Amino acid sequence: MSQDDAIGQILVFERMSGTLHMRHIDSADLVDTDIDDYEMVVFDGGNTSGDTWKHVFFPRQREHYFVYEA
């Protein structure tokens, strides 16, 4: 997300009392947490020029996918 026009964000999905919750997290805060606490982490790399990509990461399974939309 180092492009000049990047408007991306990081979203984490975590389960609390059986319910899945989504929230925004700052990259510095993500580094300081146990990544296995989250069910899914989405790096949204959208930008103002229209190209968008997402990196979807499943920490416990150590699986990830990249999705690009033109």
Tens digits of per-residue pLDDT, 14-49? 999 999 999 999 988 999 999 999 999 999 887 666
Using the structure block, give the residue that is written with the tokens 């229209």. 50
What per-residue confidence (pLDDT) applies to 62? 96
pLDDT one-digit tens code per residue, 46-70: 766 666 788 999 999 999 999 887 6
pLDDT of residue 44: 87
pLDDT of residue 61: 96
The CA distance from 53 to 42, in Å, is 10
Backbone angles phi, psi at 8, to 5 degrees: -65, 170
